[in-house]
Amino acid sequence: MLVNCSGCRIPLQPPPAAESIRCAVCRAITHIAAAPYIHSSPYPPPSPYSHSSSYPSPSPYNHSPVGPPPQVFGRKRAVIIGITYRHSRNELKGCINDAKCIKYLLVNRFNFPETSILMLTEEERDPYRIPTKRNIRSAMDWLVMNCQPGDSLVFHYSGHGSRKRSYTGDEIDGYDETILPLDHQIHGKIVDNEINATIVRPLPPGVKLHAIIDSCHSGTLLDLPYLCRMGRNGVYGWEDHRPRNGIRKGTRGGEAICFSGCDDDQVSADTSALSKVTTTGAMTFAFIQAIERGQGTTYGNLLNAMRSIIRTSQSDFLAGGGIVTSLITMLLSGGSFGSGLTQEPQLSSNEPFHVYSKPFSL
């Protein structure tokens, strides 16, 4: 059960039978009234077509409730997470805008059924769709559950990211990358090792996963074995990130590809410099804009276009627009003007490939 803090209104998860809880953000004490249990499923309804009842072994990080998993729905499905950390000193402005625009893109450009998209933002009324650590973990489990050849999966995250020292020998730079759930100050961050174990390693042959990560220090957030190093002239090479200690970070035969907002040692902007109208994540905006302008024919073309859009954030590249640009224009929210963005979106994969000949598709 989640309760809203009496001070800052952030969702809190009290221990069982607790009568009150202190907020780690504003320190206010919230008293908890006894309430009857009401069951609410956080997942879309079962699919009319049947998947096999077998599914990969759960991630060792799984903290979902004991019992059989819910039925998944759709050959295309997505988890979209946008966290603004409202009423905190590290509040972001554009992350929920990012989530809404990615959903619009998936539904209208790539034919994802709305019933196959699980949205986690602070605006959701269902407590199971608030982007807490527990709910994000459950959503990642749902995304890959019972996946079969031909399935297309998307994981989008827009929010804070960070890094911490790794002592396991599985990181070339010595750091683990993390994402910050809404309740990270209470329940902690989610580390790249867990994300890899949950949504990458279980992927069987014929299943395709795309991750779109708009956060700081996100270059290798999925811990994929290969990172595409591309210069401004478009020349590229695949950098081997397989752990020297022999830990396996690839899939069970499926395909995992990640677009991330910046390199592991860079930060990602939450800015109005790109749309000129509302605040968005720079990487999410560049990803959508490149696709809408027809520059996403291959993975290499898309990555180059995203980087170009961010580098020329002062230019009026919105001329001509598109359906997503129109959507962004309709989203009215505040934000500070930013310029001179230095982040460079990254591309990583479970296997190297020719980025200028492989067609991009979701």
Whole-angstrom CA distances from 305 to 216, 260, 298, 309 are 20, 14, 11, 6
Read off the tokens for 17: 């039978």
Q: How far apart are CA 119 and CA 123, in angstroms?
A: 10
Whole-angstrom CA distances from 50 to 74, 75, 266, 269, 297 are 10, 11, 44, 42, 32
Residues 6+ apart with CB under 8 A from 244: 169, 172
Are the CB atoms for 215 and 221 separated by under 8 Å?
Answer: yes
Read off the tokens for 213: 């990560």
Strand order of the sheet with strand 152-158?
117-121, 76-82, 152-158, 208-214, 255-260, 346-349, 226-230, 236-240
SS3 324: helix
Q: Counting beta carbons within 10 angstroms of the beta carbon of residue 19, is it exposed (0 to 12), middle (13 to 18) or buried (19 or more)?
A: exposed
In degrees rounded to 5, what are phi and psi of residue 69? -70, 155
Which is it for strands 117-121 and 76-82: parallel, antiparallel or unpaired? parallel
* Annotated catalytic residue 216: yes
* Annotated catalytic residue 51: no
Q: Counting beta carbons within 10 angstroms of the beta carbon of residue 5, is it exposed (0 to 12), middle (13 to 18) or buried (19 or more)?
A: buried
Q: Which of 95, 101, 216, 228 is catalytic?
A: 216
Q: Which of 51, 156, 160, 184 is catalytic?
A: 160
Q: Counting beta carbons within 10 angstroms of the beta carbon of residue 107, is it exposed (0 to 12), middle (13 to 18) or buried (19 or more)?
A: middle
CA 32 to chain centre: 32
SS3 328: helix
Q: Annotated catalytic sites, by residue? A: 160, 216
